[in-house]
């Protein structure tokens, strides 16, 4: 008969980590996350669900989990999501609870969410009930800030259509408001300087290593 060790299987695993990346539209979060994942293969990106159709080059299950609007709303009604938001009229995005809960099994994951969501994680995690406290203890939030706010407008306007520019004007004002209101709620603030994205990645790596 095998001896009981008094430890469960999870006690032998390294602790998981939820690395939350947030910041204004156009600041470079996607590029930063992509470079971070290349350099840190032990981390995996949380793939969120969306109700919009895939764009050219996007792959279901890698860039997003794509659902119809009705499918998405059915999942939301069933309590499937930890958080979900209507990012544009009739366009929804959401994070499944299971994607976050995996850190309790020793997984290290990186999660991109908006500033409001990052500032209110303790409230959001209440949906996880008894798991909420453990997950919050293994969570670190990083706000990626621009070197200058006008930098975002210039970069975005270089590549987007007039219709998207109007949406961005509204979004940029909201992002600035979120920054002014909630900046003290983020664990770390990292400035993504022009043409120095790898320095930004390296700084985030140090933050993750300190919590790992």
Q: In the predicted model, what is the mean pLDDT of residues 174-185?
A: 93
189's tokens = 């603030």
pLDDT of residue 52: 94
Give all domains of the chain, ordered by start, each with its CATH number. Answer: 16-211 (3.40.50.300)
pLDDT digits (tens, 9 = 90+) for 112-156: 998 999 999 999 999 999 999 999 999 999 999 999 888 787 766
State whether the Cα torsion 67-68-72-74 is positive or negative: negative
Q: pLDDT tens digit string along 38-55?
A: 999 999 999 999 999 999
Answer yes or no: are the C-beta atoms of 85 and 92 closer than 8 Å.
yes
Polymer length of the chain: 212
Q: How many CB atoms lie within 10 A of CB 143?
A: 24
With a CB cutoff of 8 Å and minimum separation 6, the contacts of 204 are 19, 21, 32, 36, 142, 190
* pTM of the shown model: 0.86
């Amino acid at each position: 008969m095998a001896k009981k060790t008094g430890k469960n299987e999870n006690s032998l695993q390294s602790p998981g980590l939820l690395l939350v990346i947030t910041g204004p539209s156009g600041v470079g979060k996607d590029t930063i996350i992509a470079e971070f994942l290349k350099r840190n293969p032990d981390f995996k990106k949380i793939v969120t669900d969306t109700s919009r159709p895939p764009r050219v080059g996007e792959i279901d299950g890698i860039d997003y989990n794509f659902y119809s609007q009705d499918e998405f709303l059915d999942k939301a009604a069933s309590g499937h999501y930890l958080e979900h938001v209507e990012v544009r009229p009739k366009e929804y995005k959401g994070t499944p609870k299971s994607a976050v809960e995996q850190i309790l099994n020793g997984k290290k994951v990186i999660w991109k969410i908006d500033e409001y969501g990052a500032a209110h994680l303790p409230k959001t995690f209440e949906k996880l009930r008894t798991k909420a406290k453990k997950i919050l203890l293994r969570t670190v939030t990083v706000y990626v800030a621009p070197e200058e706010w006008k930098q975002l407008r210039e970069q975005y306007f270089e590549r987007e259509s007039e219709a998207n520019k109007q949406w961005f004007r509204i979004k940029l004002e909201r992002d600035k408001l979120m920054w002014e209101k909630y900046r003290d709620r983020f664990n770390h603030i990292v400035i993504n300087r022009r043409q120095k994205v790898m320095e930004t990645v390296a700084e985030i790596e140090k933050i993750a290593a300190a919590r790992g």
